[in-house]
Amino acid sequence: MISKDIEQKLIALAKEAQERAYVPYSKFAVGAAILTETGDFFTGCNVENISYGLTNCGERTAIFKMVADKGPKAKIKAIVVTTKADIPCTPCGACRQVIQEFSTPETVIIYKGSEGYSRVSMDQLLPGAFTEFVALDHTGSSTRIQKGI
């Protein structure tokens, strides 16, 4: 849970970030703002590419900035996604998986839905997320690999 004041601050930060979006192709500017578990704020915007598939969404830009600045143990307490003209935008599938990587059961994801801002948990945003697998080596022995460090 985060306070209404912090949520408003995150929305304002995301809206500032969306002004910096590089969106010559879609013209759809997206902003994101993160509050980490240690109380730090990070922002991101979408950065498009002429080779469309290389586009980086606002959410992932913010998350990669968070890790680059705070290191691999950083965790998201809350992430807000905003768009120009307040057009509804839920995090895309790729971003859901990347948010999941740095989330906890308490992480809150806030985005503009069709009726105001929606607040959801990671379990609601990406039920049954891929968070572990079994790796086999050449001898046939298996190791369980789980999300995180």
Catalytic residues: 59
Selected from 13, 78, 89, 125, the binder of ligand THU by CB under 6 A is 89
CB of 90 to ligand THU, least distance (A): 7
Q: Distance between CA atoms of 43 and 54, rounded to whole angstroms? A: 20
Q: Which two tokens stand for residue 56?
A: 């980086």
CB of 54 to ligand THU, least distance (A): 11
Residue with structure tokens 């109380």?
39
Coil, helix or strand at residue 140 = coil
Q: Distance between CA atoms of 3 and 124, rounded to whole angstroms? A: 20
Stated length of the chain: 149
CB of 88 to ligand THU, least distance (A): 11
The most distant pair of C-alpha atoms in the chain lies apart, rounded to whole Å, by: 57
Query: x-or-dash pattern for ligand THU, window 100-119, by CB under 6 A?
Result: --------------------
Applying CB under 6 A, the residues found at the interface with ligand THU are 23, 26, 28, 30, 46, 48, 55, 57-59, 89, 91-92, 95
